[in-house]
Amino acid sequence: MPVRLLVVALLWAACTPALAQQKNLRDYGIEVGVLAPGQWNAITDVPGVEVGHTTLVRGKNIRTGVTAVLPHAGNVFQDKVPAAVYVGNGFGKLAGSTQVAELGTLETPIILTNTLGVPVAADALIDHTFSFADNADVGSVNPVVGETNDGYLNDIRGRHVTKRDVLAAIKSAAGGHVAQGNVGAGTGTVAFGFKGGIGTSSRKLPGNLGGHTVGVLVQTNFGGVLSVDGVSIGKALGKHYLSDALNDSPDGSCMIIVATDAPLDARNLERLAKRAMLGLARTGGIASNGSGDYVIAFSTNESVRVPHDSDSPTRQLTVLRNDAMSPLFVAAIEATEEAILNSLFQAETTVGRDGHEVKALPVDEVLGIMEARGYRVLR
C-alpha cells in the first residue's frame, strides 16, 4: 500500500469506533424462533428497503449518530407507503407519529437519532423532500424521526448532529448488508446495562404461507432482565434491573422499525407493529416508566402504495385477510427479538462523555451459559 494511502487508513481507523464484534447471535449457532431468516438476516431482505448510517465519534465526549431507513429508493412523498405506529410506552419524541396514525401513510424516510437531534433531523427530511423536482409545489411535509437518549455516553446537550449528517445517512442508504452495533443512531446507546446499538433481523415465510418477508431494525437503549432465547442471561450474570449489580434506572427507549413486502393496509400494519413489542418482551425488556418504546411498521408492496395525487376519489386494493396475519405476527416477534439481541452481540465496549464506560456484552461468558443450558454453540 502506498505510504499516503496507509496514513489515510490509519487515521480513519484511529477516528472510527470499534464498530462490532462482527457476529450475530445466529453465527454462534443460536437460532431464535422457528422461521428462517432472509438472505441478509436484515430489514433489507424486504425488497426496496435501504439503510444508511452516519456515525459521529469525536474527541472524548461525542458518541452519537444517525440511521436512515428508506422504504424505497424513489420519491417517498409522491409514492407513499402504508404505515402504522404503535406506542408501547410513550416517554419519547417520535416526530410525525400522529399524521401516520391519522392517514395511515409514510411520506419520508424514517430517521433515528438522539433525543435532542429530532428537530434538526426533521428539518433535514424536509430538505430531502424538497430536493425532488416533482415536489416543487409541496408546502407541507410530515417528517418521521425517532430517538433514544444517548446522554450517558454522548454530549447530548452539544447537539452535534447536523442536517448534513442526516442527509449523508440518507444518501449512503443501500440494500444488502447492514452495519450493526456501535453505528449510526446506536453509537451511544446502552441496553440491559451493556453497550446497545443498532440491530436487525428478518424472517421469510414459506411459500405455502405466502412467501412474504418481515424485516426489523432496532435502536436499543433500554433496560430489564436480559434473556437470550429464553435463557435468563441477566440473572445468570447477576447484572439486571433490581439486582445489586445494576440498580440504576432501566429507562432509555427502544425504536423498532418493521418492514414487510406483504400487501397490508394501515390497520393490519398496526396489528403487526403491536407484535413487535412481544419480541422486546422476550428479550427481557420491561417498557419502563421512562422508556419511549415505539414501533413503526410499513409495507413496501407496490400494489398498496398511495400516490400523492390522483384523479380518482376512490382506490381499489387487494390486501391480506385477517386470517392470513398470524404467520406474519410470528415473523415480527422473532425478528424483533433477534434484532435486539444482535444489537448487543455486535456492540463494542465504549468510553464516552466524562469518561463514562459501558462494557460490551461478555459474549464468551454468555455462550458458556448457553452451553450449560444444552445449546450447541459455535465458537
Give me the catalytic one of 202, 293, 299, 343: 293
Name residue, grid cell 433535514.
124
Q: Alpha helices of the chain — where are they, by DSSP H? A: 3-15, 97-103, 118-130, 163-172, 233-237, 266-282, 326-346, 363-372
Strand order in the sheet with 110-114: 50-58, 62-70, 110-114, 144-148
Q: Is 291 a catalytic residue?
A: yes
Give me the catalytic one of 201, 202, 288, 291: 291
* 110-114 and 144-148 strand pairing: parallel
Give me the catalytic one of 202, 253, 299, 343: 253
Q: Would you call 285 helix, strand, or coil by DSSP? A: strand
Question: Minimal CA–CA distance to 292: which of 148, 96, 113, 117?
Answer: 148
Euclidean distance between CA atoms 338 and 229, whole angstroms = 9
Q: Would you call 112 helix, strand, or coil by DSSP? A: strand
Name, in order, each residue with C-beta under 8 angstroms of 97's C-beta and a sequence gap of 6 or more: 85, 87, 144, 294
Q: Is 253 a catalytic residue?
A: yes
Active site residues: 253, 291, 293
